[in-house]
Structure 1
């Protein structure tokens, strides 16, 4: 899809997926506000998006979509899907250091602020993706008319 429509749709898809994962982590933090010893987790959204943007702008060959496919060096099997693959919650999540002197380091006000901000940014990314699809629809339906 990158060659046909550009990278905007792929970037927005990645942003929406990261925002969704971040929402899950923040709501888990809120749900565990009273759990002794719980430490909040989050993802470094900016870092992950920057890494994705760098990878997306680099020239790429054929993408492996299945473990049984051949690698570019001719060997088959057991490779990774790379940075364009699914988001792995275990590897992307970061446990935040304990900053409060309580048995639990979750600050409900901070987490609620993060949740509200993340929800707004998620909605903005969804709206931008909708606009991209509307532009494509217009180009398809109105493109040949004069």
Structure 2
């Protein structure tokens, strides 16, 4: 049995939640920046893409364009559609961003607690408790 199978989707989930926290914090920080466009990504879709082993791109020549790096690449980010337009072009809805950030934090903690419980169970099994 592999360690990845034991942990399930929670390892990928933690990475995606951490990245989403960064994105949402950036939106909140720029709530008063004229022209700033709020960004986010579809967490469920990104996690679904993480589940099967994705084919990784590789360059075979030095002139090839390098693939996007990171947990969520900039090309996978989307702009939020504002529910109420702002005169200065800013699309950040501060209340929506704070709610999304809080929800993301709770989901992050849930995955972290599940992983912690799984690791504690494995430690007990290894030590024969």
TM-score (norm 1): 0.71
Q: Cα RMSD over matched residues? A: 3.2
Alpha-carbon offset, residue 89 of structure 1: 3.4
1:69-105: per-residue Cα shift (whole Å, max 9, x none)? xxxxxx8x98x89xxx841431332122344221211
Query: Following TM superposition, where does structure 1 have runs of at least 4 consecutive aligned residues deviating by more than 4 angstroms?
Result: none
Q: Which runs of 5+ in 2 are unaligned?
A: none
SS of corresponding position for 2:22:
helix
Q: 1:142 to 1:121 in 2, by over 3 A?
A: same
SS of corresponding position for 1:7:
helix
Query: 2:80 aligned to 85, 96, 103, which one?
Result: 96
Residue 109 in structure 1 maps to residue 95 in structure 2: yes
Query: 1:136 aligned to 115, 122, 128, which one?
Result: 122
Q: 1:25 to 1:6 in 2, by over 3 A?
A: closer
TM-score (norm 2): 0.80
Structure number, greater radius of gyration: 1
